[in-house]
Amino acid sequence: MLSKKSQYAFKALTYLSEKYNEGPVLISEISKKKKIPLKFLENILLELKKAGILDSKKGKGGGYFLSQSPEKIKVATVIRLVNGPISMLPCVSLYFYERCKNCNQKHCALHDMMVEVRDATLNIVENRTLRDLMG
Report the SS3 class of residue 10.
helix
Instruction: Locate the domains of the chain by residue range.
Output: 4-66, 72-133
CA distances from 132 to 41, 57, 73, 75 (A): 22, 26, 10, 9
Which residues are CB-contacts of 53 (< 8 A; sequence separation ≥ 6)?
Answer: 13, 66, 67, 73, 77, 78, 81
Assessment of whether the complete model's pTM goes beyond 0.85: yes
Report the SS3 class of residue 56.
strand
Residues 7-54 have pLDDT tens digits of: 999 999 999 999 999 999 999 999 999 999 999 999 999 999 999 999
Residues 79-97 have pLDDT tens digits of: 999 999 999 988 899 888 8
| Architecture of the domain defined by 4-66 | Orthogonal Bundle (1.10)
